[in-house]
Structure 1
Amino acid sequence: MRLAKSDALSWLATLADDSVDLIITDPPYESLEKHRKVGTTTRLKVSKASSNQWFDIFPNACFDEFCQQLYRVLKPNRHCYLFCDQETMFAIKPAAERAGFKFWKPLVWDKINIGMGYHYRSRYEFILFFEKGKRKLQDLGIADVLTCKRVYRGYPTEKPVPLLEILVKQSSEPGELVIDPFFGSGSTLIAAHKLQRECAGADIADAAFEYLAQRRQTGDGV
């Protein structure tokens, strides 16, 4: 497991062309900050109900450069998964297509329990499925709705390891390199490590390194 304390764009710039087998990441997109300010994502900030620290957002204006870097470092005939909400999807999808990716579809992560919100409370999140070249999924019988209970009282926007294991299994082989430029809670790296993939990631938050180190010390999937 290789970790770098760096912003995503700077770290990606250090990687060689066509050197990565799979990308799975969850950028801290702009709309999260908007929802936090109006009180619809209280679990993501410091409050009486949560001890989570907030993180710096990644501006939508940077998605073109970000997707260009993702496309550059990804090997031909490989996959890329980007977690996002319904607003950010309309910013990331065209940026990724401009970079050269083929967009297949948004997968839906069904979190089982409803979350915060005013107009039909949130229960799902999108995972945008992109391809560079052509690569067959391992199991063509898996549906485009992935049901997995969300993580409570974890790192902000933490993703469950079993959900990420599905993506890792579907789009990579043991020994291949999986990266996450915004590793956050470390769940993508943990899932890759558990499945005998090489893994690397970057984050700018001290809290991300501390949280992942704690997970590794307690044997949380590592």
Structure 2
Amino acid sequence: MQLFKDDAVSWLSRLADSSVDLVITDPPYESLEKHRKIGTTTRLKVSDGSSNQWFKIFPNERFEVLLTEIFRVLKKNSHFYLFCDQETMFYVKPIAESVGFKFWKPIVWNKLAIGMGYHYRAKYEFILFFEKGKRKLNDLGVPDVLECKRVHRGYPTEKPVPLIETLIKQSSIEGDLIVDPFFGSGSTLVAANNLGRVAVGCDISNAAHEHAKCRIANALAEPA
């Protein structure tokens, strides 16, 4: 398992062409800042109990170069999963298609409990499912709504490891290289390690590195 501290696009630009088996990531997309400002995403607010220093927003205008790099580093016949909200989904989909990805569908993550906010409070999040080339899922019986409780009192926007493990099992095999250019809490890296994959991630935030290193160390220390 390897961690790198850098801007996601700059880091990806140094990876070799067609060297990655699977990318799963959750960028700090632009609409998060809008939700934080109007108070609908309290876990992202700056307060005594929650520092916001690691949420340097990745602007929409940079998605084209990001997706171009992700497409380049992925091997032919591979998958790419992007966590996002509905606003970002409509922005990202046509850009991803323009750089070469096939868009299959938005997978719905049902969090099994409603969150904060207004106008029909959110109980779900999207995972956009893209393909480079042609690759079958490992289990065609898995539905497009994945039910998994959200992480309470964890790193802001932390994703559950079992949820990530489902995506990894579907789109890779043991020994494959799994990359997350915005690793945040480290969930993708932990999930990949749990399943015998090679995990490599990048994040520009000091707080993300501190959190992930402690988490990974604890996970590796647990008896098998």
d(CA) in 1 for partners of 2:170, 2:216: 24
1:12 aligns with 2:8: no
Does 2:187 correspond to 1:215?
A: no
- The letter of the residue matching 2:57 is I
3-state SS of the aligned residue for 2:86?
coil
Partner residue in 1 for 2:125:
125
Cα deviation for residue 153 of structure 1 reads 1.1
CA offsets, 1:95-134, max 9 Å, x none?
Answer: 1001100000000000011001110001100000000000
CA–CA separation in structure 2 for the residues paired with 1:203 and 1:72: 19
For the 8 Å contact 2:111–2:148, the answer to whether it is kept is yes
Aligned equivalent of 1:60: 60
**Residue equivalent to 1:147:** 147
Distance 1:3 1:162 in 2: 21
Post-superposition CA distance 1:13-64 (Å, at most 9, x none): 010000000000001000000000000001122336x424341000001111
List alignment gaps of at least 5 residues for structure 1: none
1:67-97: CA deviation from partner (whole Å, max 9, x where unpaired): 1001000000000000000000011111100
Q: 1:221 to 1:151 in 2, by over 3 A?
A: farther
Cα distance between partner residues in 2 of 1:85 and 1:74: 24
Q: Specify the code of the residue in structure 2 equivalent to 1:176.
A: D
**Amino acid in the other structure paired with 1:63:** F
* Alignment correspondent of 2:160: 160
- Tell whether 2:79 aligns with 1:79: yes
How far off its partner does 1:4 sit?
A: 0.7
Equivalent residue letter for 1:197: R
Secondary structure at the residue paired with 1:125? strand
**8 Å Cα contact 1:23/1:180 also seen in 2:** yes
In 2 relative to 1, CA 98–59 (structure 1 residues): closer, same or farther, beyond 3 Å?
Answer: same
In the alignment, is the contact (CA less than 8 A) between 1:52 and 1:155 conserved in 2?
A: no
- CA offset digits 1:151-207 (Å, max 9, x no partner): 111111100000000000000000000000000000001000100000111001000
Structure-1 separation of matches of 2:156 and 2:43: 7
Q: Gaps (5+ residues) in structure 2?
A: none
CA–CA separation in structure 1 for the residues paired with 2:50 and 2:35 = 18
- Aligned equivalents of 1:67 and 1:79: distance in 2? 13
Q: Distance in 2 between matches of 1:163 and 1:115?
A: 18
Whether the aligned pair in 2 keeps the contact of 1:52 and 1:156 (CA below 8 Å) is: no
* Partners of 2:221 and 2:167 in 1: CA distance: 16
What is the identity percentage for the equivalent residue pairs of Structure 1 and Structure 2? 67
Q: CA RMSD in A?
A: 1.3
- Normalised to the residue count of structure 2, the TM-score between the two structures is 0.96
Please report the TM-score for the alignment, with normalisation by the length of structure 1.
Answer: 0.96
Question: Paired residue for 2:190?
Answer: 190
What letter is aligned with 1:211?
H
Contact 1:111 1:123 in 2 (8 A): yes
Distance in 1, matches of 2:174 and 2:221, equals: 17
How many residues were matched structurally?
221
User: CA 1:190–1:99 in 2, change beyond 3 Å: closer, same or farther?
Assistant: same
Structure 1 runs (4+) greater than 6 angstroms displaced: none
**Shift in Å, 1:2:** 1.1
